[in-house]
């Protein structure tokens, strides 16, 4: 009996993590190309609202998801234009967009608040879904959840195992070298930022049409998810596999927060829901602390045997951003 609860809980974790996977993969691709898309929190809300409204009006889920992707791509295009062409601070523009898109979603979505819209249905895979345990865990989901599994490996394979993926790494690490090798750095950056934005934009309708179906304005519970996804991207070290691990870890923690509620009645639900954030800070700390000066000094003073162990742990945790992240590229 309790194994059933565990199984359904874990299956739910995979569903809840799916939109975060899309957002994190989109951000990873954008940052690999050297551009931080800090607007993610606003983009997800705006695309969730747009996807919901469009699918209510057209009664079509496909158009809803399409609308979300287009909204994400458009916001990313603003980020790309301002940071690549105009060389305005990516952090400034991204932050303003994060706030503005959020308010825009509340303003434009107001007339549709509480409406009942279409909802993405389950699509169990024949035969595979009948398998014990694995069937329930992996093969009884909606189509976007399946796509989230595929996206992880697709993104990883593209970045690390293909020639264009190598170029993508190049324009984020050493754009000058990529330029000499014949890459049109700024055009490629535009393309990857916009593709990344479209993936982030798909996360929105995944919430409003599936995971948290509906649009409820400020109480939709979506404000903050984009910031978490941003932190997971860093935790993931710009590697899709590690980022996916981060996304699932976050979803597990959220589920545990809810599951532990009856056990810990003294703690209000809002507190347990933010439990992942201190953990996020802690992981960022572990990821980065190996690079600080005082840790290096302290390590040097340790005896050899223990120093090697600590160094190995820190190195395993460490994540290095693309060297030219946030730096505009000038061809001359």
Partner 1 sequence: MPNPRWTSIYLRLGALALALVFIIIILLASGAQPFEALGYIISGSIGSIGKIADVLGAWIPLVLVSTGLLITFSAGLWNIGIEGQIMLGAIFTTGTIRLLQDSPVPPPLVIVLAVLAGMLGGALWAALAGALKTFGGVNEIFGGLGLNFVATAISLWLIFGPWKRPGVASMSGTEPFDAAFRLATFPGFRLSPWALGLGILAVVVVYFLLRGTYFGLRLKAVGKNPKASYLLGIPTWQYMMLAFVLCGALGGLAGAMQVTGVYHRLIPSISSGYGYMGLMIGMLVNFHPFWAAPVALFFAALNIGSIQLPIVLKLDSALAGVLQGVLVLFVLLAEGVRQKYFNRKAASS
Closest approach, Cβ 249 to partner 1, in A, equals 15
CB of 290 to partner 1, least distance (A): 8
* 37 lies in the binding site for partner 1 (CB under 8 A): no
99 lies in the site for partner 1, by CB under 8 A:
yes
The yes or no reply on residue 329 touching partner 1 (CB under 8 A) is no
**Smallest gap, in angstroms, from Cβ of residue 143 to partner 1?**
31
Does 96 sit near partner 1 (CB under 8 A)?
yes
Q: Which is nearer to partner 1, 56 or 167 (CB)?
A: 56
Residue 94 CB, nearest approach to partner 1 (Å): 10
- State in Å, rounded, how far the first CA of the chain is from the last one: 67
Residue from 114, 294, 300, 303 in contact with partner 1 (CB under 8 A): 294
Can residue 107 be called a binding residue for partner 1 (CB under 8 A)?
yes
Q: Which of 37, 82, 148, 208 binds partner 1 (CB under 8 A)?
A: 82
144: which 2 tokens?
Answer: 């976007």
Indicate whether 291 belongs to the interface with partner 1 (CB under 8 A).
yes
Residue in the structure block whose two tokens are 């967009």: 97
| Cβ-count burial 47-68 (b if 16+ within 10 Å, e if not) | bbbbbbbbbbeeeebeebbbbb
The count of other CB atoms within 10 Å of the CB of residue 178 is 23
Return the structure tokens found at 159. Answer: 């970045």
Position 88 contacts partner 1 (CB under 8 A): yes
DSSP secondary structure letters along 16-55: HHHHHHHHHHHHHHHHHTT---TTHHHHHHHHHHHHHHHH
Q: Any contact of residue 20 with partner 1 (CB under 8 A)? A: no
Residue 5 Cβ, how far from partner 1 at the closest point, in Å? Answer: 26
Give the Cα separation of 84 and 276 in Å (integer): 34
Are 170 and 181 spatial neighbours (Cβ–Cβ below 8 Å)?
Answer: yes
Interface with partner 1 in residues 196-235 (CB under 8 A) = 217, 224, 227, 230-231, 234
Instruction: Determine phi and psi for 101, rounding to 5 degrees.
Output: -65, -35
Q: Is 92 in the site for partner 1 (CB under 8 A)?
A: yes
Determine the Cα–Cα distance for residues 241 and 152; give it in Å rounded to an integer.
7
Burial class of residue 278, CB neighbours in 10 A (0-12, 13-18, 19+): exposed
Task: Give the span between the Cα atoms of 123 and 59, in whole angstroms.
Answer: 19
Closest CA to 196 of 26, 24, 21: 26
Task: Measure the CA–CA gap between 55 and 175, rounded to whole angstroms.
Answer: 41
Does 285 contact partner 1 by CB under 8 A?
yes
Nearer residue to partner 1 within complex by CB, 130 or 330? 330
Q: Which one, 21 or 50, has the nearer CB to partner 1? A: 50
CB nearer to partner 1: pick between 239 and 288: 288
Among 22, 52, 106, 238, binds partner 1 (CB under 8 A): 106
Pattern 247-276, partner 1, x by CB under 8 A? -------------------xxx-xx--x--
Write down the residue that tokens 């983009």 correspond to. Answer: 43
**Is 309 one of the binding residues for partner 1 (CB under 8 A)?**
no
Rg (C-alpha) for the chain, rounded Å, is 21
312 binds partner 1 (CB under 8 A): no
Binding residue (CB under 8 A) for partner 1 from 9, 77, 95, 176 = 95
Could you list the residues that contact partner 1 (CB under 8 A)? 38, 78, 82, 85-89, 91-93, 95-97, 99-100, 102-104, 106-108, 110-111, 217, 224, 227, 230-231, 234, 266-268, 270-271, 274, 277-278, 280-281, 284-285, 288-289, 291-292, 294
């Amino acid at each position: 009996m309790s194994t059933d609860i565990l199984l359904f809980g874990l299956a739910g974790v995979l569903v809840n993590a799916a939109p975060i996977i899309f957002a994190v993969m989109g951000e990873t691709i954008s940052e690999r190309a050297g551009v931080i898309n800090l607007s993610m929190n606003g983009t997800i809300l705006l695309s969730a609202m747009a996807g919901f409204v469009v699918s209510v009006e057209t009664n079509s889920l496909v158009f809803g998801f399409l609308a979300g992707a287009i909204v994400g791509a458009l916001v990313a295009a603003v980020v790309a234009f301002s940071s690549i062409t105009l060389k305005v601070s990516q952090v400034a523009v991204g932050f303003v967009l994060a706030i503005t898109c959020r308010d825009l979603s509340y303003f434009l979505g107001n007339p549709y608040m509480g409406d009942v819209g279409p909802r993405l249905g389950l699509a169990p895979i024949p035969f595979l879904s009948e398998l014990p345990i694995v069937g329930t865990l992996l093969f009884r989901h909606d189509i976007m959840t399946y796509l989230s599994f595929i996206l992880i490996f697709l993104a990883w394979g593209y970045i690390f195992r293909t020639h264009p993926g190598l170029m993508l790494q190049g324009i984020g690490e050493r754009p000058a070298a990529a330029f000499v090798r014949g890459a049109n750095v700024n055009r490629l950056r535009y393309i990857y930022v916009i593709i990344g934005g479209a993936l982030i934009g798909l996360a929105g309708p995944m919430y409003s049409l599936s995971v948290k179906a509906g649009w409820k304005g400020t109480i939709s519970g979506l404000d903050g998810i984009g910031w978490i996804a941003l932190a997971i991207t860093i935790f993931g070290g710009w590697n899709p596999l590690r980022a996916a691990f981060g996304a699932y870890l976050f979803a597990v923690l959220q589920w545990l927060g809810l599951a532990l509620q009856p056990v810990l009645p003294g703690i209000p639900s809002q507190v347990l829901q933010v439990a992942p954030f201190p953990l996020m800070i802690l992981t960022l700390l572990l990821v980065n602390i190996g690079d600080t000066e005082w840790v290096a000094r302290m390590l040097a003073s340790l005896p050899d045997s223990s120093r090697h162990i600590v160094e190995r742990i820190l190195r395993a945790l460490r994540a290095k951003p693309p060297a030219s992240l946030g730096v505009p590229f000038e061809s001359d």
